[in-house]
Amino acid sequence: MNNDLQKPIMGFWADLPKPFFVAAPMADVTDAAFRQMIAKYSRHGESGGGPDVFWTEFVSADGLCSAGREVLKRDLAFSDREHPIVAQIFGANPENMKKTAELCKKLGFDGIDINMGCPDKSIEKQGAGAAHMKEIKHAQEVIRATIAGAGGLPVSVKTRIGYNKENLEQWLGAILETKPAAITVHARTRKELSLVPARWEEVARAVKLAEGTGTLIIGNGDVRDLADAGGKARATGADGVMLGCAMFGTPWLFDRTRKAPPSLSEKFEILIEHTHLFEKLLGDIKNFAIMKKHYKAYVNGFDGAKELRVHMMDAKNADEVERIAREFLKTK
């Protein structure tokens, strides 16, 4: 038998530098507006700039196969500047996952990622997210169906090291049998959520388990910045590192040439731009309150930050946020 047939379909993954650094998929965070801000202020596509891969927020495959698909497809919108970009989907129905993979191919994505680690109870009730770890054979069926529908796009999986306890060898081994291009390993169990420190020694174990398969291993969990990401990659042998919470309030995070963070006035201009862009792109389908978690990150570490955050989080629209920010800057 031709061994090449047993290797993963890699697509763009084969061309990435090692180690590479990617932007995590985060519900109600990495929407189209925030990704565009990251692309601009991390200078994506320029020398020394940008995450090596973008992810969308996760989107329901069942929803995308329902009458409500047109609204959900808005969560899959992306700009030309965001390539390579991976659509993250979730679901437990293999046929719907296959159909959704076909849709992602038509929409122009560079890859597809399956969420098999989300601990949200409403997701797990559907048999999706972290619930896949309890039904390993079915999880394999879901991955294979997605690969079948992907039309040659690389398919990856984002997961954890186990459900109630670490089960990496069995669980990762089962995923590796399906030949995904990459596996992102969030170095905690589902039970641990984010309540304990990420165990990066488990990422190192995952690297060993994946040796010779052709599947890339991406480490995830408690990564502070690019320097920390580089150190974790070197220590574990991971092919790449995913940064999540570190992106909050820092769309310039992936600019490797930046010597210092923006000034307060520059940061406020970015905050204002982000807010108006969110309202423009998503204001008709998403609650403006989603921006509050960004204000928590943008507005901190200076005198008066707490009071300013309170005012911004009471704001109802982008114009109001801009007025509050500019009035505060006048006092500086």
Catalytic residues: 118
In the chain the beta strands, taken as DSSP E runs, fall at 20-23, 54-60, 85-90, 111-116, 155-160, 182-186, 216-220, 240-243
- What type of residue is 68? G
C-alpha 147 chain-centroid distance? 20
Query: Beta-carbon neighbour count of residue 214 at 10 Å?
Result: 19
For residues 56 and 30, the answer to whether their CB atoms sit within 8 Å is yes
157 sits in which H/E element: strand 155-160
CB 90 within 8 A of CB 158: no
Give the H or E element holding residue 267.
helix 264-282
What tokens appear for 64 in the block? 């995308």
Name the residue among 119, 15, 149 with its Cα closest to residue 58.
119
CA–CA dist 218, 240 (Å, integer) = 5
DSSP 34-56: HHHHHHHHTTTTSTT-S-SBEEE
CB-count exposure of residue 67 (10 Å: 0-12, 13-18, 19+): exposed
Q: Counting Cβ atoms within 10 Å, is residue 187 exposed (0-12), middle (13-18) or buried (19+)? A: buried
Contact by Cβ (8 Å): 119, 69: no
Pairing mode of beta strands 20-23, 240-243: parallel
User: Residue 175's closest CA among 125, 218, 210?
Assistant: 210
Residue with tokens 């990420």: 198
Pick from 52, 8, 44: nearest CA to 240:
52
